[in-house]
A and B are shown apart, each in its own frame.
Chain A
Amino acid sequence: MEQTEHTETSSAGRMKFIIGGLLIVAAVVYLIISSTQASAQYFLTVDEVYSKGADIQGRELRISGAVIGDSIQYDPQTLNLTFTIANIPGDNKEIEAQGGLVAVLHAAVMDPNRQKLVVLYNGPKPDLLRNEAQAIITGKMGADGVFQAEELLLKCPTKYEDAVPDQAE
């Protein structure tokens, strides 16, 4: 009698553990899925921004393009910064095929027929923001077709870039 009672409690106990474990697994899965959906950032090229149109409104985007030097306007009093970027390929292989990043950026700025995107940012003007730099911009597309940037990342494919190998943690 005692024996059966023991097995009964232990199998009931086992069920409790299994249910508890499954609940936690479900919670973790839910957290991952919902957080991924809420904070996914899409990498797009300028071309893709226009081809996707209304799909991407309000979405967190990350766009890469070539900075057109003449378009840079900066007001140090209000820290309002606007500039225009021109489309460059998003794929590294394609960039390599077209002669490397320097050549691609140069060609993009020179080509008047490229798709362009106006970017608005509020904050100090980064030193590296200059003609033919690669800008990687995080933010959202505004309804007026101007991209509202939250974060600017600039890369200058100069010799100095190569001079800094994988040291930074």
Chain B
Amino acid sequence: MVADFSFGALVIAFLIAVYGIVAAIYGARNGKTEWVESARLAMLLTFPLITISALGLMFLLVTGRYEVEYVAQVTSNSMPYYLRVTALWGGQSGSLLFWAWLMSAFASAVTLRKWDRDREFLPWVIAVSLFTLAFFLFLIVIFENPFSRIWRMPGGEFQVTMFQPAGAVLASMRDGQGLNPLLRHPGMIIHPPMLYLGFVAFVVPYAFAIAALITGRTDDRWIRITRRWTLVAWLFLSLGLLLGGRWAYDVLGWGGYWGWDPVEISAFMPWLTGTAFLHSVMIQEKRGLFKHWNMALIILTYALVIFGTFLTRSGVLSSVHAFAQSAIGPLFFGFIGLTFSISMYLLLRRWDSLKSEGQMTSVLSREALFLLNNLLFMGILIVCFWGVIFPLVSELVSGQKVTVGPPFYERATAPLFAGLLFLMGIAPLSAWRLSTARTLGRLMWKPFIFSLIVGLGLPLLMGIRNWAALIGFFLIAFVSSVTLYEFWRGILARHRSQGENYFIALRNMTERNRRRYGGYIIHLGVVLMAIGIIGIELFQKETQATIPQGGTVTMSGYTLTYQSLAIFDTTDGRNVARAVLSVEKDGKKIGELYPRRDFFLESQQPMTIPGVRSTWEDDLYVILVDWLPVSSQGASFKVYLNPLVNWLWLGGLVFILGTLIAAWPDKDPEYEQARLRRRVYQADLKRRNAEA
């Protein structure tokens, strides 16, 4: 009953979306505003309809209606309620529905904005958003229906369909298989929604870009409208990536946070183009350059968003050969190909009206450095893309299966990331239009000397001889000193001219120019993250040992003593083996660690949860890998020392804070101007009246 109802809502949402596309295009073509208005209402209506459907699925999940196949796949009796709710995005069909739900929320929010100044965009924004939405609804309704039920046929065999086959009865299932245990973690509960919000929100700037191309209003209006949308999308995407890394570190038990697997990369790729876009739109706003490029970037970002959704959900790449097995694979590729070629066609058609308003003259000018920044981001993107498709290419070309692993990505991207860091240090100092080595040098030499001493000299004194790390630390010192120096200069100027104290000056300055100072804070976040990344990537140590009870293992000044091991069953269906280790540093006891292994009985899956002692200096990360079951006297541990990794998470927080500052709504500048004008006019009127 609930399943039928929810499915019905979904089908209606699909039909309405299709209607909305037609109405919007018809209205725009024939100048009939009532049709556009009708399309707008259609877009608004998709949200409540998909909400009904999503809530319906949640209801089925929470109440454990295992006759619904999806419910049986991702929930079980032993799962607590909050996990059953989050199982909405625990499997493929549910997460597609979740995607569509978020998408309709964003699309509806867009229609509610004030459109008086750019009404000509409205029908095309509706058409593009609804086209995307309709595609996902189509996939869900036809191929990935989360409401399909399991029926027992008269012959006793089972069949999964939406509607009752003749003579079949609903299979009554007592329990489900349960959510993949790896996903039962707080990080995993919020990580997918964040990623999805990021993906979905990028549809909005894309829709405006396409609207600008179609209507021919190709000034930077669309960029100004979508600036905040893009930042919000980017914020969620960044959050999603960070949370994913944190989850991997906490739960996956391989001592790392990022494994360069294709699914991670597919979420990272739209982030790369999105970041490049955020930088290069500034050049269009300030200098009227790069208009083609910005269009191309947002089109590419959209394509990568769809590609990423597909990869993260279909599991295509877990086995390279599984393409044929997934019914929705070809459809996704068809959709990406179609939207990409239409977008490119529209871009080429408007090519001439997107001519730059000037040209770059100086190689060290701000705009030239931004261009370089974009090239580096594209370089990283190409490396990632190549790594993902290389197995396919090599098999097609040579018949030989070859893959590339993390070393490929690390080697190929490290110089590009270093280049980006270096730019982060120079670009804020360089001027628009014209900068010379001399003007830059004058601004740079102080931070440069400082970072030579602190970033290079200090690590050398501490005995670090790894040249990659030395370059990294130098760049980190350079960027942070330049950025902090910029803050200091701004504060000092305000302090002198306005007589504000330093804190007020900092606040006012940031508020006046959120985008600039928010951006600098993001840069500082990146620098902090770089400290953590260098620490764990270049200085991670690991050891493994099998030790008897009371035995010890040592690691860089830490001594771990194996105290005891307990094996027990929990009420939620896990068999847990939990070791107790006491930790001493330089002979002083500093705490205990409890690495454990949970074995999920339903799904027969183990999950390794490390014991971690985290400080700003390093993380001691211990995994229980094996134990002798009978006597429980000896156990094997893997011990990692991850230097500085905590800075990565701190940097992530700073990064998000900076994005929030940059994205925080300003007062609408045009509205402000109008108000100001009105006030002046009224004052004028009053004066004249008084004179009269």
Contacts and interface: CB of A to CB of B under 8 A. Distances in A.
A124 B638 contact: yes
A78 B546 CA distance: 7
Contacts of B360: 13, 17
B375 A21 contact: yes
Contact of B546 (A31, A32, A77): A77
B375 A92 contact: no
A39 B387 CA distance: 11
B657 to A, nearest CB: 26
Interface string B363-394: 10000100110011001001100100010000
Interface string A134-169: 000000000000000000000000101001111111
Interface string B257-298: 000000110000000000000000000000000000000000
Contacts of A36: 386, 390, 404, 408
Contact of A167 (B90, B409, B628): B90
Interface residues of B, number: 64
A166 B96 CA distance: 13
A77 B545 CA distance: 8
B182 interface: yes
B192 interface: yes
A165 B182 contact: no
B404 A124 contact: no
B177 A35 contact: no
A41 B319 contact: no
Interface stretch (B57-65, B122-130, B395-403, B445-453): B395-403
A: contact size bracket: 35 or more
A90 interface: yes
Given A21-B375, A167-B91, A28 B416 contact: yes
Contacts of B628: 76
Interface string A14-32: 1011001100110110011
Given A39-B404, A77-B546, A165-B92, A13 B626 contact: no
B550 interface: no
Contact of B180 (A38, A42, A167): A167
A4 interface: no
Contacts of B264: 169
Given A17-B360, A32-B412, A169 B263 contact: yes
A168 B318 CA distance: 10
A20 B362 CA distance: 12
Contacts of A16: 363
B603 interface: yes
Interface string A22-56: 00110110011011101111110000000000000
Nearest to A128: B606
Contact of A28 (B179, B191, B382): B382
Contacts of A31: 379, 383, 411-413, 415-416
Contact of A166 (B315, B409, B604, B638): B315
B321 interface: yes
B625 A124 contact: yes
Contact of A76 (B412, B416, B606, B634): B634
A124 B192 CA distance: 32
A167 B383 contact: no
Contacts of A76: 546, 626, 628, 634, 636
B602 to A, nearest CB: 8
A31, A77, A167: most-surrounded residue (chain B CB, <10 A): A167
Given A41-B404, A168-B182, A79 B546 contact: yes
Given A31-B383, A124-B638, A90 B401 contact: yes
B454 interface: no
B379 A38 contact: no
Nearest to B375: A24
Nearest to A14: B359
Contacts of B411: 31, 34-35, 38-39
Nearest to A60: B405
Contact of B312 (A28, A78, A124, A169): A169
B182 to A, nearest CB: 6
B613 interface: no
Given A28-B416, A39-B405, A167-B74, A123 B91 contact: no
B73 interface: yes
B183, B313, B546: most-surrounded residue (chain A CB, <10 A): B546
B179, B191, B312, B412: most-surrounded residue (chain A CB, <10 A): B412
B263 A166 contact: no
B156 to A, nearest CB: 19
B314 interface: yes
B341 interface: no
A2 interface: no
Contacts of B313: 166
A9 interface: yes
A158 B603 CA distance: 11
B589 to A, nearest CB: 27
A26 to B, nearest CB: 11
A135 B568 CA distance: 30
B519 interface: no
A123 B544 contact: yes
B606 A127 contact: yes
Contact of A164 (B383, B605, B626): B605
A9, A13, A34: most-surrounded residue (chain B CB, <10 A): A13
A96 B624 CA distance: 37
Nearest to B91: A167
A106 interface: no
Nearest to A160: B604
Given A24-B372, A76-B636, A41 B402 contact: yes
A62 B382 contact: no
A73 interface: no
A125 B627 CA distance: 10
A98 interface: no
Interface in A83-139: 90, 92-93, 123-125, 127
Given A62-B403, A169-B312, A28 B91 contact: no
B172 interface: no
A7 to B, nearest CB: 11
Nearest to B261: A169
B290 to A, nearest CB: 12
Contacts of B634: 76
B361 A10 contact: yes
Interface string B300-317: 000000000000111100
Given A10-B361, A165-B91, A169-B188, 5 more contacts: A13-B363, A32-B386, A123-B625, A166-B92, A169-B191
18 contacts: A13-B359, A13-B361, A24-B376, A31-B379, A32-B386, A39-B405, A40-B402, A41-B404, A43-B401, A43-B403, A76-B636, A78-B546, A79-B636, A124-B636, A127-B606, A160-B603, A163-B604, A166-B318
Counting from the closest, the 9 A-B pairs by CB-CB distance are A166-B315, A43-B401, A124-B625, A35-B412, A28-B379, A39-B407, A167-B180, A39-B408, A124-B626
